[in-house]
Amino acid sequence: MTNIDEVIREGSMEDLWNIWFTELYKKGAGLTLKIKKIIYSGQSDFQQIDVFENSVFGRVLVLYGSIMITEKDEFVYHEMISHVPLCVHPSPEKVLVIGGGDGGTVREVVKHPKVKEVLLVEIDKMVVDVCKRYFPEVSREFDNPKVRIRYDDGAKFIAETEERFDVIIVDSSDPTGPAEVLFQKTFHQHIYNKLNDDGIFVPQSESPFFNQDTIRKMYRNLKGIFPIVAPYIAFVPTYPSGLWSFAFCSKRYHPVKDIDRRYLKGIALSTKYYNQDIHKAAFMLPNFFKELIK
């Protein structure tokens, strides 16, 4: 006899069963996607991990009930968190990615010819394993010889490591659960200390519509540590409000005036969202966001 779980996994009753996934942003607002098929569901030591198929966005990775990536729109976030710092730093040889267990950020980082080594520090090995299996296009560079993966707590790693980096990217989930510490001042101070003298740091910094308290606090802390802090934005359809932000934090280079000549001359980067116009435009902020970080 077929039970309901088997029916859902097979996807055969898709049009008869009306099953929807909803991520609530606030009481009264959220995003709803119809589940065509449940692909994976499991509990790691750190969080609930789910993968399902949606007819519009393709496969969707959900951690602790929050959408992390969809096949259809992941490129926006991963290109913007990676190429903005990497097109400014003139010699980004050594790059650290904290979080990013799906592999999308690493995939973009290795597109840069000057990158010699990428270290990915991810706390949850199960996220990497699930993404290798169900998101091969996103995780395709994990076996690139330039990429090293270390399963560790990013905050503990950065506090203790003797290594130094040219660019550090924090591709975290939201500031609840294991990622909470990645939004705190002590962590950002350690990042500053582990960057080379002309290093650049970019963390994802949540939605200016829905996460205003987090943004206010985060930018106040970052401005107390880095001489140059500039938020930039991108449109990610499946993230809360669609308007997403990143913090460009730098010891020396300006986010727009110092875009590397090689890229201004049009060095070919194979991207679907990022280009030089987008790079500059991303730093143009709406008034309510400027107000938030005053």
Question: Would residue 124 show up in a list of annotated catalytic residues for this protein?
Answer: no
62-81 residues in contact with ligand SPD (CB under 6 A) are: 66, 68-69, 77
Angle at the Cα of 235 (from 85 to 86), degrees rounded to 5? Answer: 10
What mask, x for binding ligand SPD by CB under 6 A, covers residues 204 to 233? x-----------------------------
Catalytic residue among 73, 166, 171, 260: 171
Helices (H), 21-167: 74-86, 104-109, 125-134, 154-160
> With CB under 6 A as the contact rule, which of the stretches 140-148, 171-179, 180-188, 245-253 interacts with ligand SPD?
171-179
- Applying CB under 6 A, does 104 fall inside the site for ligand SPD? yes
Sheet-wide strand order for 117-122: 147-151, 117-122, 94-99, 165-171, 195-203, 243-250, 228-235
Helices (H) and strands (E) in the chain, counts: 10, 13
Closer residue to ligand SPD (CB): 81 or 87: 81
Residue 53 pairs with which residues in a beta bridge? 37, 59
| Among the listed residues 75, 171, 190, 245, the single contact to ligand SPD using CB under 6 A | 171
Cβ closer to ligand SPD: 10 or 213? 213
Only one residue has tokens 């994802």, namely 204
- What minimum distance in Å lies between the beta carbon of 90 and ligand SPD? 26
Subset of 174-193 contacting ligand SPD (CB under 6 A): 174
Sign of the torsion formed by the C-alpha atoms of 53, 57, 63 and 64: negative
CB nearer to ligand SPD: give 170 or 200. 170
Q: Interacting stretch for ligand SPD, rule CB under 6 A, among 98-106, 189-197, 223-231, 282-290?
A: 98-106
- Decide: helix, strand or coil at residue 138: coil
Phi, psi of 208 (to 5 degrees): -65, -15
Known catalytic residues? 171
* Residues that bind ligand SPD in the complex, under the rule CB under 6 A: 66, 68-69, 77, 100, 102, 104-105, 171, 173-174, 204, 239-240
